[in-house]
Amino acid sequence: MRPILPGCLDRAVAALLAAPPEGRAGLALRIVSEARAADAWRKRRGRAHPLWGDGSLMSAALRHPARPLPPSLGREARAALRQVLDALDGSSGL
C-alpha cells in the first residue's frame, strides 16, 4: 500500500460514516484490502487498478459513498477513525 496521508484517513472516515454503524468495521477492512490489492496491481502492471485506483487508501476510499466530515471529530467520527486504524494495523505488509 502507498504511504498513508492525513487526507487518506479523512476520506476513509467519510466513507465509513456513510455506512450503517454495524457495517463500518467490515467496510474499513474492505477499503484497506482494496488499497493493498490495487497497489500490487499497480506494481505488476505499471498502471492503476481499474476499480480501486493507484494503491493509496484515498484512492480505494474514493470508490465508496461518503458523508461529509463533521467540523470537529465527535464520538461517531472518532469511532470511525479507530476502525480505519484498526483495519490498517490488522493488515500485513504495512
**DSSP letter string, 12-56:** HHHHHHTS-GGGHHHHHHHHHHHHHHHHHHHHHHSS-BTTTBTS-
Residue 91, pLDDT above cutoff 70: no
The answer to the question of residue 1 being in a domain is: no
Residue 3, pLDDT above cutoff 70: yes
The answer to the question of residue 48 being in a domain is: yes
| Rounded Cα distance, 64 and 74, in Å | 22
The answer to the question of residue 19 being in a domain is: yes
pTM: 0.91
Domain region containing 30: 6-90
Q: Is 91 helix (H, G, I), strand (E, B) or coil?
A: coil
Share of the chain above pLDDT 70, in %: 96
Give the total number of structural domains in the chain: 1
Cell numbers found for residue 60: 480505494
* 24 and 83 Cβ atoms separated by less than 8 Å: yes
